[in-house]
Amino acid sequence: MSGKQTIVITGSTRGIGKGLAAEYLKMGHNAVVTGRSQKAVDEAVAELAPLGPVLGVPCDVRSFEANQAVWDAAVARFGRVDVWINNAAIATDHMRFGELPVDQVDATVATNLLGTMYGMRVAIAGMLKQGGGKAYTFEGFGSDDMTAEGLTTYGTTKRAIRYLTASLAKEYQDTPVLVGAMSPGIVATDLLIYSSKSRDPAQWEKSKRILNILGDKVEVVTPWLARAALENTKQGGTVAWLTRGKAAKRFFMSLFVKRDVVSEFEATRDVVVR
């Protein structure tokens, strides 16, 4: 598929989502950004508008109707949706599962898993009607079976999303809808820092060491990720920035070069929010 495309990115008023929207606009495409509040959406649109045609739609992905409203608004404005990226996600406080408030469990599962399922349901149905498109899930910590204290709920949702992607890719392998996953690796965002920041100072220092070795800034990852998602033609494929080979090289290079991605990110933020 060539020419100008319309890309929907959920949860795109900040972080990786907004970074992807900016890259697609720079590439000459249309971008549709979403967030839970009208204020956040308006602010993101104002920032992105100088780059190209951008539409902002408030959306709580935990609602199927809200996801459908995003699709309908995008089609009304741009005629079709070529790519739908389910980026929206939240994390719980960094604590053991047995101590975690139940409302945080509910919100994280509903946003990360149910929200992605609703988004894929809307995108796949719409793309089948229009004759094709690409629908992406978003991987994260836990997708590859890794575990860590304090990330049980978040990791569970991301592990489930990998199954969801594989299953949908098989279901729709003989259709013009390509189902895939995007894996940004470790990117310095509010979500990453919040979900990693343990109440135990010693544990947080250990986490920071890994984040500084493997982490990247949004502006480093999103240009590559945006292009790769458009170029991908493999049904069920994962567009992955941080490969095992790249991670191994980062650990080796850390013996000689010290990176401080976390401090650089936190210096630009007044507070870290969920």
Q: What positions carry a catalytic annotation?
A: 154
Which backbone phi and psi does 169 adopt, to 5 degrees?
Answer: -60, -40
Contact 109, 91 (CB under 8 A): no
DSSP 100-158: S-HHHHHHHHIIIIIHHHHHHHHHHHHHHHHT-EEEEEE--TTTTS---TT-HHHHHHH
Q: Is 237 helix (H, G, I), strand (E, B) or coil?
A: coil
3-class DSSP state for residue 192?
A: helix
Rounded distance between C-alpha atoms, residue 272 and residue 140, angstroms: 19
21, 57, 148, 203, 270 from 38: Cα distances, Å: 17, 8, 35, 37, 22
H or E element at residue 6: strand 6-9
Work out the angle between the directed axes of helices 64-78 and 115-130 (0-180°, nearest 10): 40
State the amino acid at position 142 in one-letter form: G
Determine the 3-state secondary structure of 183 from DSSP. Answer: strand
